[in-house]
Structure 1
Amino acid sequence: MFEYKTIDQPIENTLFKEKGSKFIGFAFPVTNETELKKALEKIRSEHPKATHHCYAFRMGINGENYRANDDGEPSGSAGLPIFNQLLANDITNVLVIVVRYYGGTKLGVSGLVKAYKESAKITLEEARIVTKELETEIEIRFNFNQQNTIFTLLSKFDGKIISFDSQERAVISAKIKSKDKDNITEALTNLQFVEYKV
């Protein structure tokens, strides 16, 4: 439950041609709406003359946040075949965009389904699929003289420090593996003068 499969880096410009139409595939690792919008805007600005910018994404540990967008193609002929490739690869936190330049010959719904599916498939075949551990952010407040104890605890569980404010009452933000959260919070609960929020 504490890990998921995703792609390690963006894949851009895979090309698939069908009856004169060009389908250009892109895949991006995304973890939130901001990254998602940025990737979509980037592709729209790079391909302003494309006939369609169809896409699908899955986010969340179980891919519970998802969407498939046909961008003007017949309903279910573009976004869904792209989305099904995310399911087929069992990956999440991924956005796949397929840009289409119309080539003059209509493909029909079944032709479109096939073309978008194939474009998404070859794009994801170029990606390196990796397993990532789910992380949780934690903020810990403690007296300055306790910093060694806190740092030791975080390094024991491979915590990654994001920020450290070393006042009299120090504040640290760190990323920890979700599977270690209970052990870390239990250890913090046993320390005096320490507050934390996950």
Structure 2
Amino acid sequence: MEVYFTVDKTAVAEFKDRGSKFLGYVFPVKTPEAVKDCLMEVKKEHPKATHHCYAYRLGTDGMQFRANDDGEPSGSAGKPILGQIDSKQLTDVLVVVVRYFGGTLLGVPGLINAYKVSASMVLQLVPAVQKNIESKYHLTFDYTIMNDVMIVVKQNNCTVLSQELQLFCTMDIGVPKTNEELCLLRLRDIHGLEIKSLK
């Protein structure tokens, strides 16, 4: 696997069922901390909502995930939301569905449907973006070869994660796995450049 799919925009969709109002939110997120921040934001915006249910999946391997029913019957909210994220094969994404109770009980099948539809609607509003899975490397080099390093970094679509450019420079880069070998070969050709793999 050399690529993954995620979203790079936020969006909101609204779904109504027998008086209950469901608002679906989608956020691009990278960390559990970012998930918390987005949840706080939604809760601040909807302090009077009955439930703030959500699901997220993180990481290029998709191994970090969570589904939360926030007081709805077990498995009736978080799971259907996560199911929609997974049906689109997305990662680094959070979907929150806010519910305002409308007086009529929907029952578990009704809830599963409402949360599923809300998540599906909001995910349809944001196009999935394909990103390269990257390996991270730490580069150390003298300022005089800065130009040579930048040419290879740019030509290989590497992501510059952090950099300190003085007389002596350090840079953390993400190298797309699709052309990792070629990129490293070219970097190793640059005299005086030190490369360390960051796990």
The two structures have a TM-score, normalised by structure 2, of 0.88
Matched length: 197
Which region of structure 1 is more displaced relative to structure 2, 48-57 or 104-113?
Answer: 104-113
**2-side partners of 1:29 and 1:167: how far apart?**
33
> What SS does the aligned partner of 1:171 have?
strand
Structure 1 unaligned regions, length at least 5: none
- Aligned-residue RMSD, C-alpha: 2.0
Equivalent pair of 2:149/2:190 in contact (CA under 8 Å):
no
Deviation at 1:176, TM superposition (A): 2.9
**2-side partners of 1:63 and 1:23: how far apart?**
27
Q: Deviations over 1:74-132 (max 9, x none)?
A: 10011011111112222221111100011111111111111111111111122212222
The two structures have a TM-score, normalised by structure 1, of 0.89
Which residue is 2:126 aligned to?
A: 127
Which residue is 1:150 aligned to?
A: 149
One-letter amino acid of the counterpart of residue 59, structure 1 = L
Deviation at 1:136, TM superposition (A): 3.8
Q: Deviations over 1:169-196 (max 9, x none)?
A: 2223333323233333333345443222
> What SS does the aligned partner of 1:140 have?
strand
**2-side partners of 1:144 and 1:108: how far apart?**
66
Structure 2 unaligned regions, length at least 5: none
Which residue is 1:185 aligned to?
A: 184
**2-side partners of 1:103 and 1:72: how far apart?**
16
**1-side partners of 2:124 and 2:167: how far apart?**
53
One-letter amino acid of the counterpart of residue 3, structure 2 = E
Q: Deviations over 1:44-71 (max 9, x none)?
A: 1111111100001111224221110000
Equivalent pair of 2:4/2:90 in contact (CA under 8 Å):
yes
Equivalent pair of 2:148/2:190 in contact (CA under 8 Å):
no
Which region of structure 1 is more displaced relative to structure 2, 155-164 or 20-29?
Answer: 155-164
**2-side partners of 1:9 and 1:48: how far apart?**
24
> What SS does the aligned partner of 2:151 have?
helix
Q: For the structure 1 residues 164 and 55, does the alpha-carbon distance in structure 2 shift closer, same or farther, using more than 3 Å as the test? A: closer
**1-side partners of 2:183 and 2:163: how far apart?**
18
> What SS does the aligned partner of 1:8 have?
coil
**1-side partners of 2:3 and 2:174: how far apart?**
15
